[in-house]
Chains A and B, each alone.
Chain A
Amino acid sequence: MDLATYVLIALFAPLAGATVQIFLGRRLPRHGDWLCVGVLFVSFVASIPTFNAVWANPAFKLQILSEWLTLGSFGIPLGLQVDGLTGIMLTVVSFIAAFIHLYSVGYMHGDPRYSRYFAYLNFFTFSMLGLVLADNFFLIYVFWELVGLSSYLLIGFWFERPAAANAGKKAFIVNRVGDVGFFVGILLLWTQLGTFRFEEVFKGIAAGQMAGPLLTVTGLCVFLGAVGKSAQFPLHVWLPDAMEGPTPVSALIHAATMVAAGVYMVGRVYPVFTPDAFVVIAYVAGITAFFAGTIALTQFDIKRVIAYSTLSQLGYMMLGLATGGYVAGLFHLVTHAFFKALMFLAAGSVIHALHTQDLREMGGLRAKMPVTFWTMMAGSLALAGVPPFSGFFSKDAIIGATLGFVMAHPQHLLLALFAVGGALLTGLYAFRLMFLAFTGAPRDREKHHHAHESPPVMTVPLVVLAVFAVGAGWGGWFERLVRPPVELPHGPAGAHTLALALSLLAAGLGILLAYWTYVVGKISAGRVADRYRPVYTLLFNKYYVDELYAAGVVRPFLALTRGCAAFDLGVIDGFVNWCGRFTRGVSRVQGWIDFRIVDGAVNLVGNAIRAWGAVLRLVQTGVVQNYILVLLGGVLVILLLKVL
């Protein structure tokens, strides 16, 4: 079988799994979980040949084209493509998804809607793979929304809980805001270049058919889609709430794959963004990276801490891409996928054991859950960017790119601060979580007592992911496969050495600070929080962004809808009813006139005649003499006339 069929198998296996599972899930043995996990491994295995093909020849390109919708001159093509980046993404996504499916078997054990969970998860994987493989804007948009749908379904999986239902709805609507921007961007591209396919768009842009401010605006519109999907600064509010979903979902969707889709898309359509667009993207990314880090410091829910860390890392990836570190950003995407999925699964196993997500009720789990502890430690080290671990290589590259960019454009110094500050914060909150959860005295005796190591079906994926979290950075395999589509200005050499030093320093400082506060207790977190009370509350409440949106956007919007409804009912309907009443009034007046005058006249005639009749009736007295007398009178008159 040639490569194309492998790709199609990799793509459509999860879809087949999902459809079978939805309809027959409950009736299958073990509710069909083996089917879904198996399908995922099939998909992973089918993606390996593509990886080898790409590995063998990095400039490898595969096109699968077919007509989907043709309307005479206008048509929407349907195509899949495989190149270096797709190869990697295909393998990484299916790999992580496979293991998360395996992990879910343990985690979701006993859930009433067990079979439906796997159906949704399979469907998600299909959409994600489709997104990665799409070769034109229209198709990527289609999968973009399908991924949004599956995230909606999975976040709101336990929909009995209102919070979960709300989170799902919030996620979808915020994504939809981003998607609309993306669609407008696509339309702009289509009207200008007349095509949806990436190559033709890139050729058109290269040929200068589209440039200058219009292209920048289009780029920003397209970036808006990425902001929605990868939860960048203005549209990031949905990600923390998405933690309502089951933890494996958070691991797969809200850490490894979906949220990375935005970064992947920016990477995929790199030529669309003009340098000015990249500046804006850089700032948005920088803000996201830094501020998410600050919030993570104050959170007590283990999943929310990791969620904010994801936000921060996404900011990093986008920052890398925006500042010319094309390879760095995408490499971080891949490494992040591994160690973040690992951290979430580890957190999941902690939650599974303790049945709580609150760090304040944890502590001293190291002894109880050694495997989880060590795999979590590996993940945290990778996250903080400690050298041998994968995180170090990709994050260092990003910081290098950023510094290079700042050196070339000193006016953007703030970006460097964001990058380095973010690195420090990452180290701090990563190890705050580790120490709070695993070291020190257990704060909740009763829960601690019940704590136990997760079953192998959960720990095996942890270990596998840990291996990759550690090893993913080595061997420069990524640079070999992925080349920037556009010639990028190479920053000054010194940038990398400086970046190396700074990132190590920041990470080390972060870890040290965490050690001092949460293990040794030299700095008591409480006192720090008290001294900077206003700052602390600001951070704890997530910069009040949610409240801002609620008050600034949602509430006035609902008021507007009520206003429209009232307007619609009152004015327009009112006008219609008024017309009704007015015509009825006019008709009543007319009726009155008609009745009084016309009818009146007729009655008048009738009455008059009757009145006259009454008078004449008197003449008919019934007495014969009167008649004769009258007769006589008549004769007299005639005679008179005759005679006179």
Chain B
Amino acid sequence: MIGLHHYLVVSAVLFALGMFAIITRKNGVAILMGIELVLNAANLNFVAFSRYVWGGLTGQVFAIFVIMLAAAEAAVMLAIVIAVYDRFQSIDVDRVDSLKG
């Protein structure tokens, strides 16, 4: 029987993959994909707990909020990426380091 653990493991793996993507990928957009993955991992947890622990729908409500936020974030991401591209002619993160100390 599929239990809470299963879902938690999957979300952990997804989370790890997301993090890995964020850390290693040079390309701005790849990082964003990593972020989306992480967000989804979190959603999965929400829903899993709401299903197995609380029973109510709170988890799902929050998941929806997360999705909504992710949408907003993606929009802003697009704008930033475009602006950065305009400015630096590339969105490789390591070249965009004018905030260097």
Contact = CB atoms under 8 A, between A and B. Distances in A.
Direct A–B contact in the complex, CB atoms closer than 8 angstroms: yes
Interface of A: 616-625, 628-629, 632
A621 B22 contact: no
15 contacts: A616-B101, A617-B101, A618-B101, A619-B101, A620-B99, A621-B100, A622-B97, A622-B99, A622-B100, A622-B101, A625-B26, A625-B31, A628-B19, A628-B22, A628-B23
The 7 A-B pairs with the shortest beta carbon distances in the complex, nearest first, are A622-B97, A620-B101, A622-B100, A617-B101, A623-B94, A622-B99, A624-B93
Given A618-B101, A619-B101, A620-B100, A629 B94 contact: no
A624 B100 contact: no
Contacts of A619: 101
A625 B97 contact: no
A615 B96 CA distance: 21
A632 B23 contact: yes
A440 B75 CA distance: 152
Nearest to B24: A625
Contact of B97 (A617, A621, A632): A621
B100 A625 contact: no
A514 to B, nearest CB: 126
Contacts of B99: 620, 622
Given A620-B99, A622-B99, A625-B26, 10 more contacts: A618-B101, A622-B97, A622-B100, A622-B101, A623-B93, A624-B93, A625-B22, A625-B23, A628-B22, A632-B23
Interface in B25-49: 26, 31
Q: Is the interface of B mostly helix, strand, loop or mixed?
A: loop
Contacts of B23: 625, 628-629, 632
Interface in B41-79: none
Contacts of A623: 93-94, 97
A629 B23 CA distance: 6
A617 B100 CA distance: 8
Interface string B87-101: 000000110111111
A622 B93 CA distance: 9
Contacts of B101: 616-622
A13 B86 CA distance: 123
Contacts of A625: 22-24, 26, 31, 93-94
Contacts of B94: 623, 625
A571 to B, nearest CB: 68
B96 A622 contact: yes
Interface residues of B, number: 14
A597 B6 CA distance: 67
Nearest to A617: B101
Q: For A617, A621, A622, A632, which residue has the most chain B Cβ atoms within 10 angstroms?
A: A622
A624 B98 contact: no
Contacts of B22: 625, 628
A64 to B, nearest CB: 111
Contacts of B26: 625
A615 to B, nearest CB: 11
B19 A624 contact: no
A177 to B, nearest CB: 95
Contacts of A618: 101
B89 to A, nearest CB: 17
A578 B24 CA distance: 77
A624 B100 CA distance: 10
Nearest to A622: B97
Nearest to B101: A620
Nearest to A620: B101
Contacts of B24: 625
B24 to A, nearest CB: 7
A634 to B, nearest CB: 13
Contacts of A622: 96-101
B72 to A, nearest CB: 20
A621 B101 CA distance: 7
A620 B101 CA distance: 5
Nearest to A623: B94
A617 B31 CA distance: 25
A616 B101 CA distance: 9
The listed residue with most A CB atoms (<10 A of its CB), out of B93, B98, B100, B101, is B101
**Of residues A618, A619, A625, which shows the largest number of chain B Cβ atoms within 10 Å of its Cβ?**
A625
Nearest to A614: B101
A628 to B, nearest CB: 5
Interface string B10-21: 000000000100
A363 B37 CA distance: 152
Nearest to A625: B23
Contacts of A621: 97, 100-101
A616 B100 CA distance: 12
Contacts of A632: 19, 23
A618 B23 CA distance: 18
B90 to A, nearest CB: 14
Nearest to B20: A632
Contacts of B93: 623-625
A625 B26 CA distance: 8
Contacts of B19: 628, 632
Contact of B31 (A620, A624, A629): A624
Nearest to A613: B101
B22 to A, nearest CB: 5
A628 B21 CA distance: 11
Contacts of B31: 624-625
Contacts of B96: 622, 624
A12 to B, nearest CB: 107
A154 to B, nearest CB: 102
B62 to A, nearest CB: 21
Contacts of B97: 621-623
Contacts of B98: 622
A603 B96 CA distance: 36
Contacts of A617: 101
Contacts of A629: 23
A625 B19 CA distance: 10
A629 B97 CA distance: 16
A621 B96 CA distance: 10
Nearest to B98: A622
B85 to A, nearest CB: 16
A622 B98 CA distance: 6
A614 to B, nearest CB: 9
